[in-house]
Structures are given as structure tokens and as C-alpha cells.
Chains A and B, each alone.
Chain A
Amino acid sequence: MGSYYDIDDIIAEEEPVSVVFQKPVNGVGIDPSAEKNCVDQGSKVELPFWLANELCQRNAVSVLVPACFDEKTRLEIQADPACVDLRSRSQYFYEFGCKMVPIVGDRTLGFLLFSAFRSRYKDVLTKAHTVSHVAAPKILSRLTKEEVNLYEAAQSSVAAFKKWRVGGRRFQPASVLGRKRRSEE
């Protein structure tokens, strides 16, 4: 759970979620298909996560699995996790998924996130070490925000390691410290 002021957390909660209203609602303009400012029971509306979550906890709506975790995505992840373009699904694929797990009925969602992250993690780190600058944008365009952070962290650590190996100013012992002590009399 991010902090109250966390920008990424706020934006991740803006992801759309389709919900079905279990209760009628008056006086709100959230259903574009309704003529008046109200929502009928059983109507399907797309709400941002922050609203859907609270309403779901109060049993006012039931939540459908969002499009970014659909069957097609699952099959692609099973086939070759590293090549799936998760960024186009959702920039906050994992964060959003973790938030969805408690309110969505689908029990396989948590495992999907876990297995996707686990297999992509290794791939992201390897590529960060080996990929040339030319190929980097293509790879980055497939990664979610969290994976991009990971990629950049890996790259900067490689750069730091190379710098360290080439050398630079190192600490040297002062010559006076190398002298042997006089033995006790």
C-alpha cells in the first residue's frame, strides 16, 4: 500500500474497472448511458478503481475482471512472459493487479501476477546488462513502470561497477600506518 501522497499509487488507482451495480443510485452522473442523473440496478458502468473498490466493499457493486487481465493476456504470459507487452495493458500492471485481488472473485489472478513478475524479473535484469542502446527503447516500451525502474536500477549498478573496475581514486593506507610497532619492552 502506497502512502497518501504517493503519485504512482494515486495514478494506479485511476485504472478503469467495469462494475455491475447491485443497488440503484440517485443523483450522480457516472453512467453515460443513463438519461437522468441516476444509475439503475444491474447496469454496467466503467468506474475508476478508487471508486469501484469502496463501493464493492459496501456491496453496492460487483466487480468484473478488468480487460488487462483477460484470457488473451494470460495465454500470452504462459507462452512467453518476457515478450508480452504489459505496458499497453496497464502501466501499473502489478500494482493494479495487487489492488484488484481482494475485490475480484478470480482466485487465479494473484498467481498470474506472481508468475509473470517472477519470470520477467530475470529477463529484465539480464537485458539491462547486455542490451545495446539501440535496442533499449524497444524493450522499454514493453515494460511496466515498476519494471522500468528495475531496468534502470540494474543499468546504473552496471555503470557503477564498471567505473569501480576501471579505478579512480581509491583509499590508500598512509605510509606511517604501515610501520611496525615497537615491541613492548
Chain B
Amino acid sequence: MYGRKASQLVKELTGGEKGQLKAFNDDLINQVIKECGSHHVGLQALFRNMQEEGLDIQTTRNADFYGALIHHLSLTRNKRCLMAYMYNRADVVRSLRWKLGRVLPNELVTKLSNSEKEYFKGYSAALDAYMNEMNLDLTVCMIIVFARIWCHRRIRTSRLECLMILVKCCSLTGLPILRVTQCTFSNELMLNSIFVRV
């Protein structure tokens, strides 16, 4: 049946644990592409038939037309399966960078295709460049805490004191502060975001 191989390819993505990669199935992909080639040939042949009979391809609804339609639908179906295979694998490849870091273990590298290796390298480089620019390591697990401390007008709490309160809050909750990104000190001290490691 048409499109059967392509759906086998997609089914491969569902087997096993979520987020785990199977070896890139070059063989099956080539078979699917070969099937696409034969659909293309079939489509062209049917169109040629219709033209030889002097029929208008746009409006005729004969047996040749429906044959061509089935070939066309099979082509788009195969395309969707191939695209979904690449797309969902690319998702996993990106997540590997976050989970395992810049260097992948060998047994994983062998499961990637050449283009996926390139993609991983490119993605990794882009992420590194961004983190360098922001001077922030995004790969450590972080939550962002929004804190708001109200200070009474008359108390005249100094900035340092406010910050001390905050540090104390964090140490009590056991969340070490990585860095404080933005503070607005006024009567109402507001800390927009503190990165804490969990």
C-alpha cells in the first residue's frame, strides 16, 4: 500500500522512551524517496495520457485523473511523513544539547545522520554565543523568583539592608542566589528577578 513505508518511519519515533533516539534510518528513507520517484513517474504518465487524448487536465474527471490524484496525495503524504521524521528528530537533537552539553557520547553520535551532526554543532554554537553575550549559563536549572519587599517610608532602610533581607530569605528557603539582574531601589524596593539555583 502507498505510504506504508513512510508511516513505518514515523512509527519508529514513537517506540522506546520519550526523548530517546534510534539510529537514523537511512535505508527506509531511501525506500520512501524511491516510492516518491515512482509516484512522480506514474503522475507524469497519466498526465501525458490525458494530453494525448486532448483532454483538459484542469477540468476532466476521468479514470486517469483519479489515478493522478491518488499519486499526488501519496506524494504529499510521504512528504509529510518524511518532514515529521526530520522535525521530531531535530527536536530531540536540540534537547540533547541542554541535557548532555557540548560533547555527545559516541554511541549517540553514531545514531545521528551527518546533517543532524551539523545541526547539533550549529545549535550548540548559537547557544554558546548567546550565553557568552549575556554572560549567563542557561543550561543550569533555574527558576526565576519575583520578590517584592515593602519598606516603610520612615524606616529608611538602606539598599544594603534590603538586599541583606533578601539574601536571608533565600538562604532560609535554601535557594542560593546566582545573581541579581535588576533592582530598583526606592521607598519600595523591587527586585525584578533573582536567579536561584534549584
Q: B: which residues have CB within 8 A of A?
A: 1-4, 7, 10-11, 13-14, 42, 45-46, 49, 61, 63-64, 66-71, 73-74, 77, 80-81, 83-84, 87-88, 152, 154-155, 165, 168-169, 172-174
Shortest C-beta distance, A85 to chain B (Å), equals 20
Taken together as a complex, chains A and B put the C-alpha atoms of A91 and B48 apart, in Å, by 42
Tell me which residues across on chain B come within 8 A of A54, comparing CB atoms.
69, 73
In contact, B173 and A169 (Cβ under 8 angstroms): yes
Q: A30-B70, A48-B2 are in contact. List 8 more A-B contacts (CB 8 A).
A: A5-B83, A7-B84, A10-B80, A11-B7, A11-B14, A28-B70, A60-B69, A169-B174
Taken together as a complex, chains A and B put the C-alpha atoms of A175 and B165 apart, in Å, by 9
In contact, A23 and B61 (Cβ under 8 angstroms): yes
Majority secondary structure of chain B interface residues (helix, strand, loop or mixed):
helix
A172 within 8 A of B: yes
Tell me which residues across on chain B come within 8 A of A48, comparing CB atoms.
1-4, 7
A176 within 8 A of B: yes
Partner of A51, one of B49, B70, B87, B172: B70
In contact, A24 and B63 (Cβ under 8 angstroms): yes
Contact A7:B13 (CB < 8 A) given known A28-B70, A28-B71, A50-B77: yes
In contact, B84 and A6 (Cβ under 8 angstroms): yes
Partner of A176, one of B49, B81, B83, B168: B168
Taken together as a complex, chains A and B put the C-alpha atoms of A182 and B151 apart, in Å, by 11
